[in-house]
């Protein structure tokens, strides 16, 4: 029992700086390629580069931290009695989070950074992609228990399709995801005939 903190000596990490850095990074990337460099972040946050390097290995990790927080907070997987409704609700919430262009910019930048740095890619998977996936799979297994799940596709494929469409739309096209998309997708995946 207990979570005794070791209480180290010396000055403590500045929460103010941490927030300033997360915000600056997000804002810069939201402004479409606007000076999104470590130096740019430091300048906008009013912080030294050293302070950034002390806590984050790459600028991608900064985005990762701020995006992971947001997603966790704003997408629930509450039980709505049917697979179709659960799925529809999950998609609607997700698409809402993705509405602001800044969020999409940040996610696209993060995905791009991750492709160029294998270690960041691992962290991105573990701390973001897998968690989002786990959220969805929770809905799927609830349906399975309920006997509500169409037999056609394995749950892993469901996740590949849902997140595949979401990311493909962000990365490869300009088209926003809307309620109609949520309806078609949920319809296809939850339909029994």
Q: Which residues bind DNA (CB under 7 A)?
A: 7-14, 17-18, 35, 37-40, 46-51, 53-55, 58-59
Residue 138 binds: one of a second copy, DNA, none (C-beta under 5 to 8 A by kind): none
Q: Tell me how far, at minimum, the Cβ of 186 lies from DNA, in Å.
A: 41
Residue 47 binds: one of DNA, a second copy, none (C-beta under 5 to 8 A by kind): DNA
Residue 1 binds: one of DNA, a second copy, none (C-beta under 5 to 8 A by kind): none
Q: Tell me how far, at minimum, the Cβ of 40 lies from DNA, in Å.
A: 6
Q: Tell me how far, at minimum, the Cβ of 164 lies from a second copy, in Å.
A: 3
Number of residues in the chain: 193
Whole-angstrom Cα distance, residue 122 to residue 186? 29
- Which residues would be at the binding site for a second copy (CB under 8 A)? 32-33, 108-109, 111-118, 125, 129, 152-154, 157, 160-161, 163-169, 171-173, 181, 184-185, 187-188, 191, 193
Residue 154 binds: one of DNA, a second copy, none (C-beta under 5 to 8 A by kind): a second copy
Residue nearer to a second copy on the CB measure, 99 or 125: 125
* DSSP labels, the chain: --------SSPPP-HHHHHHHHHHHHHHHHTSSSS-SHHHHHHHHT--HHHHHHH-SSHHHHHHHHHHHHHHHH------SSHHHHHHHHHHHHHHHT-SHHHHHHHHHHHHHHHT-HHHHHHHIIIIIHHHHHHHHHHHHHHHHHT-S-SSS-HHHHHHHHHHHHHHHHHH--PPP-HHHHHHHHHHHH---
Residue 193 binds: one of a second copy, DNA, none (C-beta under 5 to 8 A by kind): a second copy
Q: Tell me how far, at minimum, the Cβ of 58 lies from DNA, in Å.
A: 6
Whole-angstrom Cα distance, residue 95 to residue 75? 10
Residue nearer to a second copy on the CB measure, 78 or 173: 173
């Amino acid at each position: 029992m207990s979570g005794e903190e070791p209480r180290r000596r010396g000055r403590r990490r500045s929460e103010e700086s941490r927030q300033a850095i997360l915000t600056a990074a997000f804002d810069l990337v939201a402004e479409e390629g606007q000076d999104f460099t470590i130096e740019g972040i430091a300048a906008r946050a009013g912080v030294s580069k050293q302070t950034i390097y002390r806590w984050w290995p790459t600028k991608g990790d900064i985005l990762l931290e701020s995006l992971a927080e947001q997603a966790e907070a704003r997408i629930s997987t509450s039980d709505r009695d049917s697979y179709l409704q659960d799925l529809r609700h999950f998609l609607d919430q997700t698409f809402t989070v993705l509405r602001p262009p800044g969020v999409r910019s940040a996610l696209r930048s993060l995905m791009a950074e991750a492709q160029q740095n294998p270690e960041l890619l691992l962290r991105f998977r573990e701390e973001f992609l897998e968690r989002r996936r786990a959220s969805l799979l929770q809905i799927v297994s609830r349906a399975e228990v309920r006997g509500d799940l169409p037999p056609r596709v394995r749950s892993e494929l469901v996740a590949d399709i849902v997140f595949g469409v979401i990311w493909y739309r962000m990365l490869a096209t300009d088209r926003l995801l809307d309620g109609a998309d949520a309806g078609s997708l949920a319809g296809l995946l939850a339909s029994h005939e």
